[in-house]
């Protein structure tokens, strides 16, 4: 089976997504996690797990905890393709989605994602945010 990525990279530059993955990976390391990161040149490599062909952007490990992490950009977080992989990952363990803190003056990604997760029946998926300009990452509470 070929590996699938659900973030529609045709509407988001790979550099934006790669930058966001790097920010989140660094934040996880600062919190004491061992991290595997897809899409970027990461010392511990890429996640070795693919579920139904979907590979998470990041996998974070600490003690016996495993977290599947998806990172979205302003161009991808509203994609209809976001829900299915999150559903698969949440069935296998803890799943987080990390989205931009803001996307222009009239857009509220956090509000949108809360509603989308509820509509998709994924209330167990936790949401974090990042600011690509400042580099600040707010990971979900554990």
Burial of 6 (0-12, 13-18, 19+ CB in 10 A): buried
Domain 12-108+125-135 fold is: Trna Endonuclease; Chain: A, domain 1 (3.40.1350)
pLDDT of 15 reads: 87
Q: What three-state secondary structure class fits 59?
A: strand
Counts of helices then strands in the chain (DSSP H, E): 3, 6
Q: Label residues 100-120 b or e (16+ Cβ within 10 Å = b).
A: bbbbeeeeebbeebeebbeee
| Predicted pLDDT at 8 | 36
* Domain locations along the chain: 12-108+125-135
Residue 45 has pLDDT above 70, yes or no: yes
Q: What is the pLDDT of residues 63-82, one digit of tens each?
A: 999 999 999 998 889 888 99
Give the pTM: 0.86
């Amino acid at each position: 089976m070929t590996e699938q990525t659900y973030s529609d990279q045709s509407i988001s530059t790979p550099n934006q997504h790669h930058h966001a993955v790097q920010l989140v990976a660094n934040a996880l390391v600062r919190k004491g996690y061992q991290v595997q990161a897809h899409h970027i040149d990461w010392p511990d490599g890429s996640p070795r797990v693919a579920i139904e062909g979907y590979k998470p952007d990041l996998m974070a490990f600490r003690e016996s905890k495993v977290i599947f992490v998806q990172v979205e950009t302003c161009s991808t977080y509203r994609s209809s393709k976001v829900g299915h992989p999150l559903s698969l990952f949440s069935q296998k363990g803890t799943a987080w989605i990390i989205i931009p803190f803001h996307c222009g003056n009239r857009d509220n990604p956090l509000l949108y994602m809360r509603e989308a997760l509820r509509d998709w029946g994924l209330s167990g998926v936790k949401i974090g945010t990042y600011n690509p300009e400042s580099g600040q990452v707010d990971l979900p509470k554990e």
